[in-house]
Structure formats: structure tokens, C-alpha cells
Amino acid sequence: MKPSLLALSLAAALAVTAVHATETPLTTVAATGTDDPADSGNDQPTTKTLGAIDVSAKLDQARNALSPDTGSSQYVIDQKAIAQLPLGAATPMNQVLLQAPGVVQDSYGGLHVRGDHANLQYRINGVIIPESIGGFGQSLDARMIDNVKLLDGALPAQYGLRTAAVVDITTRSGHDLGNGGSVGITAGSYGTLNPNASIWGSDDRWSYFLTANYLENDVGIENPTASKKAIHDHTNQVKSFGDISYLINDDTRLSLLFGMANNRFQIPNNPGQQPQFGYLDTVDFNSADLNEQQRENTRFGVLALQGRLGLTDYQVSVGQRYSSVAYTPDEIGELMFNGVASAVTRDNRASTLQADFSTPMGSSHTLRYGVYSSFERAVSGNDAWVFPADADGNQTSTTPINILDNSRLTAKTWSAYVQDEWSIGDKWTLNYGLRGDQYQLARTESQLSPRLGLVWQATASTTVHAGYSRYFTPPATEMIASANIAKFDGTTNAVPDNGNNTPLAERSDYFDAGISQNLGSAWTVGVDAYYRNVQRLQDEGQFGSALVYSTFNYDLGRVKGLEFTANYQQGPLSAYFNVALSQAMGKRIITSQYNFSPEDLAYVYNHYIFLDHDQKLSSSGGVNYALDSNTKLGADFLFGSGLRKDGTVPNGASLPAYFQLNLNVSHDFTFDHFGKLHTQLAVINALDRTYELRDGTGIGVGAPQFGPRRGLYLSLQKDF
């Protein structure tokens, strides 16, 4: 859909709302009674101005009604829980989400939820933010979050396309916070410096929340060695976010959401590697001296109109997201180690339209329906230097040659859904619906996806849910065609062309069931089980030196797991504990086979193998204790049984288990003429246990990466 058509769609919605606004009073509601007893002789209802805060709260509640989670599993992390993490609001977004059950950490800031590679959908105030190009920079900042829900399992028809989990973020609001702001800094080990500033407030019908921060340190990407400090691993990152809202009337709000992230990374070096190729008259190169760089940019803006027409709540939004990745190689070094040095650029611009509606149908039904469309333009550049080679891949000249390999792609997505939430008595809720998706890139693929979710409120303290969802997941907007591969024939970057280079949309059947139990007023425990049967299972791998991911498909996949979660809150003590069992397997690689060895392809053709991101056992937990109103102690941990590595068969073994313990203490100081100063001291990986996330082997794995070593960090924050 063209951007001009998106703008016309929003203009039409604004026009409809303007007509509706003339039919109802803007700022009055009926009120029975009066504050002055002397005026109580008149029994007629009077009118009063509805405050902007009340209007905003009412619209927030309506927005929540637009986004049900019936039949699915959800885990909520609010601002208080984020503040209790060792780094508080300075915690990267991926580390915040690692506190939820079933979430597994990977290198480059990657996450896997319930056995999926990525496939996460991010929503801000109910609006879908299209995913950025796969890299390793974090685009969103935890300081913007009021609360975040991780929705997974059998999702209702409203959620589609990216369905491993929905990261549903509700932002902080100037109407709720009042007028003020905050400035602070986090500093510590590995040259870490992270100043931040936020400002928020409201003026009658306007409200705003703006935040920005800068980060630099010497551990931007995971260390490829077990050493205390990585070689050549500096990063500079700038992030900002804004939410500006205007209340058109008591039923209508117009919001502008926007954000930006500019991240720069050095690629860390792994010393002691031996060159495989000669360059002119040079035969030796110290791998510790490589100078590879990568930069990532993301920008997004969304204009959203939310309100009510009669009994129907709605939210209509238009948006655009731009992201880019640029990788700069060490030309001589990469030629000598890899036989190819590629300056890789990727740019993607996505324009979106989203409309969601909710209409009550009598006392027991709520009808929800909506549409979504996305128009993406992707540009890929590859300025490569390679050596000539013979038919066996042996270098025939030490003089490199240059090959330009550029492409442009256009992808279009259309989606629509309808679902009914049926309240059956006081204890049962049935959510059933149908979703349709179509995706067009090199080919057109589509699917109608039924959804069914059931919730049983067995007792006041026991909730049982079960659901089924049919899912359709388009591939990322990228593709290596046969013409691209043919350009490198007769060079040291030649690969076999198996003629099946178009990534396919994934299709799956998802079954989920769980129970949540309140034990007294302090404890909440839950158990959830899931199974996913997959056709054309999507996976991604890092192929080549640039730290970006490429999509490939297994013909078949099966994913299953079991999760347990417990939360405790009583007086000054709060705690949580999650543990998850998971198994993710695939069989027969059917696209992008040029990335793999013939031996691996032959084995995987006839056998199920573990996916490279499969981890059998994962656990997270934490505890926080308030000594008094100003002082708190906290600790949290991550445990993993280890991601996959190659064994006697592809992905046939797993890396050693790891345990990371983090500690923190916070105290609020109060000074005359200055007020309160929040301080927080954190120790990350307090036991300084060395552990490896990746060892460089496995299907789609590019290089080894280690978890963080012990680090000490101090945060100072002043609200005003």
C-alpha cells in the first residue's frame, strides 16, 4: 500500500471522528449532586468538566479492551519490576524480557521464545512496530515502559504474522506522571557510560513523554574468547523515544509515537587464527589486528487515532519504520582469512496501516475486527572482493577482483481478522475467530487461520485456559537469487546453487493449555504446556562476516515445551521463579541450501535434528527485599542447559550449562535544597563464571560468543 493511500485512510478516519464530535458534548458528563449544600434544592443533574487525566484513563482502558489475550499465556513486567533489576531502567530490552518464562538468551542480543528463532512482534500502545533488519542493536529503551506484556501460546485472531510472542508495551504517560522529568547516569566496568534524560507532563488536553540516552562501552558484542576483556569491541549507541498525545474530545485521542536508535559497533577479534589465503605478496596477518565495523540505524513514527463511535471502540494508525545496517570489512584481513571481503549494506523502509475495532454485541458477546497492511522496500548492497579460484575452490591468484552484487525488493502484506469473545455465564469465556494473511515478494502466499481459545474461571483463585491457533509467518524481506550466486562462480566465494533460493512462509498448528493458581494473597503459580507442528519451519543463520541474519526453511518442524512460573509478593519481600523445558527440531532443509555443506544437507534430508537455538532447560528468577522505604536489596539469575553445537551429527551436542548471578543494592538519599537522589549499585555475573553461548559450530552459527564477565556498575538518578 502506497504511503499516500495510508495518509488518505487516516484523513478519512479523522473526518468521521470530526462529524461524531459535533454530535456530542466535548467536556461534560452527567453528575448527580453538588459540592455545595446551599445549592441542593435543585434536583436536576448538573454538568462538570471531565478532567484530562480522567479522559486519558478512560481511553487507556478502552485501548486495553481492543487487545484481548483470551486463551493465550501472558507474563507482565511492570515499571516497578524493571526498577528492581540490577541495572534498573538501564537494563537492555532483551535482558528485561529474559525475566519471562520460556525466553532463552542468545548472542548479539538475540532472544528465542518457546523454541522460535526470533519471530517477535513488538507493539507500542497497541500499534505494531515492524521489525528492524536483523542485527544486534537494541532499538527500544526500558525507560519508556509503564508495563510490558509477553503474550505467547495460542493467540487470538487479532495477532498474526510474527507470533512466537507479542511484546506488548504500554508507555509511560505525561497525564499520569504530572509535570516533571528525570536525569541520570550509569557508569562502571568496561568503560561503560550511559547518561539519560527524560521529560514528561501535560497541559490541559496535551500530554507528552520524551526520553533519550547515550551508551558507550567496550563490550558492545559478546566476546569471542573467554578473556576478561574483548579485543576491538567498542560501541556507541544513541536512543530516543517520544509519545505526544492530544485529546480531541472526551472520546477521541490523537497520538504521535516516534523513536530512533543509532548504534555503532566494532566487531571483536579472535586472536590466533591462521590465514587461509595469500594476498599479493603477504602471507601472514594477525587476527587480533582486524578492524571490522558495523553500524545500525532505526527510526519509526506512528500517528494513531483512538476513540469511540457509538458503542464501537477503535484505533487507526499509519506509520513508517526505516532501518539500515552497514558492515565495513577489514579488506586485506578478511580476504586472507575468508577469501572474501564484503562491504554489506541493507536498507528497509516499511509503511503500515493498522485499524482495530471492538463492538459489544449484547451482554455476552464482544466482536473484534480489524485490518493491517504493510508495504516494504528493501535494498541490499554487497561490494565484494574475492580471489580467482579453480573448480575445486583453490586460489589461483593472490590479486583480488571486485564484484558488485546489489538488489532491490518490494514486499506487500495484507491482513484482516474477525473474532468474537463470548462470555458463557460467569465462569467460561470462549474466543473464536478467523484471520486471513497474504504476503507477496518473489511469490504470493496466503492463508486463512482459524483461532479458538477457552478460559475457565474454575474458582476465585483458579484459572484454566486452552487454545488452538493456525499460524502464517512470512519470511524476512530478503532473498539471494540464483543470479546473485552465479556472480561468484570461479572465485573463493563460490557456493553450489541448488536452485531453491526463495524463502517460504511458515505454516503451523499451535496447541496450548495452562492453569494459574493464587495461593493466598502472596503466591501465584502457573503451569503451561504447548506443542507446535510446523510446515516450512523458518530458521535464521549468520552466514559470512557481517552480523546480519539470513532466512532458510526446514520442510518439517516440531516444537514442544512445558513452563512453570511462581511469583511472591508480601510486605517488603517480592520474588519470582521461572523454569521451562523445551525441544525444537527440524527436518530437511528446502531453501537457501547454498549456505550448508553437502554432508549436512544429506543428513538433515532424512533425519530430524535439533535447531541450533534449542535449549532443553532454561530458568530465571529474582528476589527483592526492602530494608526500609529508602533501601532495597536484590538479586536475580539466569540458567541455561546450553544451546546446540555440532556433535557426531549437525547440532547433535549442546554447550555446557551456565549460571549467571546478578546482585544489587539501592538507596534513596535526601539532601537539603536538592531533594531525593536514587542510587543503585549492581554486580553483573557476581561469581565471574565464564560460559559460552556459542562455540562457532552448528547449522547457521557464524562465530563463538561468551557471556559477560563480572562487572560493577553505579547508577545515579534524579527526578525533578
- Ranges 25-39, 189-203, 259-273, 629-643: which has the least confidence: 25-39
- Which CATH architecture best describes the domain 3-719? Beta Barrel (2.40)
Mean predicted confidence (pLDDT) in 12-38: 38
Distances, alpha carbon 250 to alpha carbons 23, 25, 53, 254, in Å: 12, 8, 11, 12
pLDDT beyond 60 at 3: no
Question: What global pTM score does this model have?
Answer: 0.87
* Residues 6+ away with beta carbon under 8 Å from 80: none
Distances, alpha carbon 503 to alpha carbons 373, 415, 529, 599, 716, in Å: 20, 20, 30, 21, 48
Degrees (nearest 5) of the Cα angle 334, 337, 340?
Answer: 50
DSSP 340-403: EEEEEEEEEEEEEEEEEEEEEETTTEEEEEEEEEEEEEEEEEEEEEE-BB-TTS-B--SS-EEE
Distances, alpha carbon 315 to alpha carbons 27, 67, 153, 618, in Å: 21, 11, 25, 37
pLDDT tens readout for residues 303-360: 999 999 999 999 999 999 999 999 999 999 999 999 999 999 999 999 999 999 999 9
- β-pair partners for 355: 316, 371
Domain ranges of the chain: 3-719
| Stronger pLDDT, 338 or 12, i.e. the higher one | 338
Cell numbers at 60, concatenated: 487507556
H-run or E-run covering 97:
helix 93-97
Tell me which DSSP letter residue 79 carries. Answer: H
What region does 115 belong to: left with phi over 0, alpha with psi -120 to 50, or beta? left
What is the widest separation between alpha-carbon atoms in the chain?
104
| d(C-alpha 655, C-alpha 647), whole Å | 10
Mean predicted confidence (pLDDT) in 174-189: 94
Degrees (nearest 5) of the Cα angle 311, 314, 315?
Answer: 165
| Stronger pLDDT, 485 or 205, i.e. the higher one | 205
Mean predicted confidence (pLDDT) in 43-57: 55
Mean predicted confidence (pLDDT) in 687-693: 94
Q: What is the pLDDT of residue 44?
A: 38
Q: How many residues does this entry show for the chain?
A: 720
Strands 120-124 and 165-171: parallel
Cell numbers at 435, concatenated: 484471520
- β-pair partners for 480: none
* Residue at grid coordinates 575452490: 393
Q: What is the pLDDT of residue 74?
A: 84
Report how far apart the first and last C-alpha atoms of the chain are (Å, whole number): 44
pLDDT beyond 80 at 38: no
DSSP 529-561: EEEEEEEEEEEEE--SSSS--EEEEEEEEEEEE
pLDDT beyond 80 at 2: no
Distances, alpha carbon 147 to alpha carbons 69, 88, 110, 124, 577, in Å: 15, 14, 21, 10, 19
Of the candidates 133, 543, 130, 491, the residue with the CA atom closest to the CA atom of residue 345: 133
pLDDT tens readout for residues 183-223: 999 999 999 999 999 999 999 899 999 999 999 999 999 99
Output b/e per residue, 290-319; b: 16+ Cβ within 10 A.
Answer: bebebbbbbbbebbbbbbbbeeebbbbbbb
Degrees (nearest 5) of the Cα angle 546, 551, 555?
Answer: 150
pLDDT tens readout for residues 575-618: 999 999 999 999 999 998 888 888 899 999 999 999 999 999 99
- Ranges 139-153, 259-273, 540-554, 566-580: which has the least confidence: 540-554
- % of the chain surpassing 90 pLDDT: 72
H-run or E-run covering 600:
helix 598-606
CB 650 within 8 A of CB 605: no
Mean pLDDT of the chain: 88
CB 211 within 8 A of CB 198: yes
| d(C-alpha 593, C-alpha 497), whole Å | 8
Instruction: Give the other-Cβ count within 10 Å of 272's Cβ.
Output: 9
